[in-house]
Amino acid sequence: MVQNAIVKKIVRDGVAQVSLLRQMECGLHCDGACAGCTQRPTEEILALASNPIGAKPGDMVEVEPTGGHNISTSVVVFALPCVGLVLGYLAGDSLFHLGEGLSILAALAGLLVGFIPAVLLNRSILKSQAPEFAILKYLRP
């Protein structure tokens, strides 16, 4: 999904920090005419973007997410905890013949075990500081 962003600073050669502009009803195409706009987002969303076009701080650019590991990340974050939940319950009920209450506790334990890869993946992504977006073109310098 292509988004508009403003280049905040150059982090290193070929990588810039950008402020993503959230999509609003008005499209934020007011060019500053509506300074009192209630639709304007108050918080800033910062991300790293590869900068093949050499954009400078203050430039408005168009960015898109890098292809990366989006599907595999989604599987780890969403599917594994669900699988752990189901397997924990089935193991508690069928394999160990625990009662209903203890099977639910086994399901919760399975859920927690399923979250471990998600937490490890999150730490890995935060440490890598790889660009999450790629700058495509200038919108206005």
Q: How far apart are the C-alpha atoms of 110 and 103, rounded to whole Å? A: 10
Question: Residue 77 gets which letter from DSSP?
Answer: I
* Res 118: pLDDT: 87
pLDDT of 8-59, one tens digit each?
999 999 999 999 976 555 555 555 555 555 555 567 889 899 999 999 999 9
**Cα-Cα-Cα-Cα dihedral sign, residues 94, 100, 106, 108:** positive
- What does the pLDDT read at residue 64? 92
Which pLDDT value is given to residue 35?
54
Where are the strands (E) in 60-101, listed by range?
A: 60-65
Judged against a pLDDT cut of 60, whether residue 86 lies above it is answered with yes
Which token pair is 132?
Answer: 């999450």
Give whichever of 41-45, 81-85, 136-140 has the largest mean pLDDT: 81-85
pLDDT exceeds 90 at position 60: yes
Strands 60-65 and 45-50: unpaired
Confidence (pLDDT) at 70: 67
Q: Which amino acid is at 92?
A: G
| DSSP for 92-113, written as a single string | IIIIS---HHHHHHHHHHHHHH
